[in-house]
Structure 1
């Protein structure tokens, strides 16, 4: 059973620059990032194996998978090695998180498995562990930890409007600036754009698209981690935020219109007063 751990460290990772810092390790680049084959484990580091049974190569293999949108996935790597690689990844992240999002998973390799893959409650069983399986599994795990970050971000925006609605209900007054509302509009739109374009939640893995057996793994994991349902939930919340922002912007706009109307009324009144004064000054005095 191989341990897999995924992290979301920041919004963007410069994959090419990071790869240059690890010239000694074989790499395979793809559209989403890079798969780096780390040095294999030593036999002494493995748990005891019964008898003289041969050691499966998967137990020695270790991989680091880095994604452009900010996720890092480790296969069969220890805590110390993960921390060193995370430190390197964070140095090439434009906006690193103070506390990375993380998730654990397990992969079991069973060559005698009848099917290509079998999904269990907390792990996946594979007939063979190869670079394509690593690519597909990493893609889903990378998306799920990144999605967790966006879920917290959107929940934070929902909480802002929840407090604003409560305050408005109690006081009858709108206690937020137009600048802050514009900031929330931009954050809302940017979040939806990143979910679709950067994370590619609505797209399909290139490997899963080309090979039917890997598509089984990809589809199964997406259902297991409920990626589509979680995206639909986020999309609903983002639309809800957009509706509320539009409502409050209309209120602020109406306030501005009312203020302008009063300014116009005052100016017209002043102009009338000035005109009456001029007229009174020009009228000749009445002889008695």
Structure 2
């Protein structure tokens, strides 16, 4: 009985009133055979298909027979087709309902790419802001009113620039990047640039804006990538994952907080590379001493290495503000949670400990070599003094002998 109804349904789909026929057929099939299961799925396909196949995943009928499932697929097109129909009938499969819920949850998540670059050792924030006043964003308060901080204030080691057409002029605590066409760029004075919601082919254009105001450009910039996901249905304030962090919404305070940690991370990577170069140089010196019992390093080079080591440590502590808590994290416990999580995620404390250990190795080697050079110089001076004393004695003896004649 219900098989014949299925055949009628397949024939009726070719008519212009297929939507109404399909609804009525589904009702009739379900009334005649309650075990009938109708599953509606969405696939990327070039045409609609109507399939009748054994449904073996579900429990068998009470009479032990096989169950059949009517499967309707439709294409996902950008333009609606006049032959498409929408079936607004309830789905009789609990599994289909669960799948639909998962799809809705997945659609609710928005992925925002975050890219960090370390391009130079210093950036003129005043000049950058003067040429991009229309894009400059001040520190936003809870009432969503912008408070544009002067560039000579205490918290001026970074600026935030917004590009693109915003759907609303306000960007406060409750708003996010969902559906926004805006791109955000956080620029730090010590040389880091963090880009939010910017595609790969657009990165170079935004970096050129900063390079005009940068000094000490690096021959090869450092790069790192991360991801922020927005999920308004998230039950907690934030949730961490593998190379991403999920938030209920990403607002300007979140951009500042995330940008500060990622900017420090990429900069710390650069300074760690510099220290690794010094460690490698001293390793070669020590290997030479092991083979020959001596070294040929000039005193000037040692002073250069000592100055480089001290400047790297000073830049990490002072320029990066490595041990200073971010200003927004001081004021809001939620952003403090993000700040602490990201610092732990990027292992900033452990990496700084490793950097400090390597700098101590460099410092010990510099002291040893300087003391060795100082001893060499002292020995040379002692021999000069001995030679001078001997010459003076020889002259005195010659004078005495000459007078006695």
TM-score normalised by the chain length of structure 1:
0.91
Structure 2 equivalent of residue 22 of structure 1: 132
Instruction: Trace 1:1-288 onto structure 2 (pairs within 5 A).
Output: 1-28=111-138, 30-40=155-165, 57=178, 59-283=180-404, 285=405
- Measured in 2, the distance between the counterparts of 1:40 and 1:273 equals 93
Provide the secondary structure at the position in 2 that maps to 1:63: strand
Could you say what the CA RMSD is over the residues aligned between the two structures, in angstroms?
A: 1.6
Count residues with an aligned counterpart: 272
Q: Quick check: 2:135–2:162 contact (8 Å CA) kept in 1?
A: yes
Following superposition, the deviation at residue 56 of structure 1 comes to 6.3
Deviation per CA, 1:205-229: give whole Å up to 9, x if none. Answer: 0001111000000000000000000
Deviation per CA, 1:231-251: give whole Å up to 9, x if none. Answer: 000001001100110000000
- Measured in 2, the distance between the counterparts of 1:258 and 1:282 equals 36
Following superposition, the deviation at residue 89 of structure 1 comes to 1.5
Q: Please list every run of 5 or more consecutive structure 2 residues that lacks an aligned counterpart in the other structure.
A: 1-110, 139-148, 150-154, 168-175
Provide the secondary structure at the position in 2 that maps to 1:5: strand
Q: Quick check: 1:58–1:129 contact (8 Å CA) kept in 2?
A: no
Following superposition, the deviation at residue 57 of structure 1 comes to 3.6
Report which structure shows greater RCO (CA 8 Å, sep ≥6): 1
Following superposition, the deviation at residue 79 of structure 1 comes to 3.0
Moved more, 191-200 or 58-67: 58-67
- Measured in 1, the distance between the counterparts of 2:272 and 2:165 equals 36
**Which of the two has greater helix per residue?**
1
Q: Please list every run of 5 or more consecutive structure 1 residues that lacks an aligned counterpart in the other structure.
A: 43-54
Following superposition, the deviation at residue 82 of structure 1 comes to 1.9
Following superposition, the deviation at residue 24 of structure 1 comes to 2.5
TM-score normalised by the chain length of structure 2:
0.65
Q: Which runs of 4+ in 1 moved over 4 A?
A: none
Q: Quick check: 2:316–2:322 contact (8 Å CA) kept in 1?
A: yes
Following superposition, the deviation at residue 69 of structure 1 comes to 0.7
Structure 2 equivalent of residue 50 of structure 1: none
- Measured in 1, the distance between the counterparts of 2:136 and 2:310 equals 38
Q: Choose 1 or 2 for highest CA Rg.
A: 2
Moved more, 16-25 or 265-274: 16-25
